[in-house]
Structure 1
């Protein structure tokens, strides 16, 4: 490999910094998705808890647009259970995404450190390879 110049290292650092910024943006949006899922899970678990205190003859309504429609309790409970399962699966998927994004971020951070070390060596008078 050819010896790296200061200009080569600066260009490489800019490229890696942009890649790292994209990864950080992706991480931020994934964290926001995870937070929304947590909120939805909490809401649905609260609804499920409220369903547990209903009597068999209590009426349940479902909001469809601006209208409240009567709904069977069993159907409403089933829908909430399905929603909870779906949200829990989405949380698992999001958690694995977060893990993968964090791993990529760490690799880019190490790459930045390597470039910085090469730049320091170059400034101290030695040629380096990137």
Structure 2
């Protein structure tokens, strides 16, 4: 009788640990979504800037805001900077997507593990109830 109750306690402790792990994974997934949303907004803004830069003539004046000051910038340089920024943001979004897929896979396996543990606990409790 005591061995089954200690086994039950061990299973419940294991279940609690897995539930905590699942909670951490869910927080990481939420954080990933927040960061991804920020990068998606930045990507849209930079693509809009690139479209505007492409509408300009070769000799047009382009200014970049650095702190409280507008600094004159070469059109080609501004174009290159925005393209590099778009490249970087796109790479970060791909990285975040792969991280998210990994986290979701871990989350699913944790959920399956928790379900199996819950079933084992229920079967142990049902066995104790019969005894």
Q: Same fold (TM over 0.5)?
A: yes
Match of 2:90 in 1: 88
1:17 maps onto 2:19 in alignment = yes
Does residue 75 of structure 1 match 2:77?
yes
Secondary structure class of the residue paired with 2:127: coil
Q: Structure 1: which 4+ aligned runs deviate by more than 6 Å?
A: none
Segments of 5+ residues of structure 1 without an aligned counterpart are none
In structure 2, what is the Cα distance between the partners aligned to 1:111 and 1:11? Answer: 13
Match of 2:100 in 1: 98
**1:3-26 CA distance string (max 9 Å, x none):** 663212211111111011111111
Indicate whether 1:112 and 2:114 are aligned.
yes
Partner Cα distance (1:65, 1:95) in 2: 32
Counterparts of 1:7 and 1:82, CA distance in 2: 56
Determine the structure 2 residue equivalent to 1:32: 34
Aligned residues: 125
- CA distance in structure 2 between the partners assigned to 1:122 and 1:38 by the alignment: 49
Unaligned runs of 5+ in 2: none
1:49 to 29, 48, 51: 51
Higher relative contact order (CA 8 A, sep 6+): 1
Per the normalisation by structure 2, the TM-score is 0.90
In proportion to residue count, which structure has more helix? Answer: 2
State the superposition RMSD in angstroms. 1.4
TM-score, structure 1 normalization:
0.91
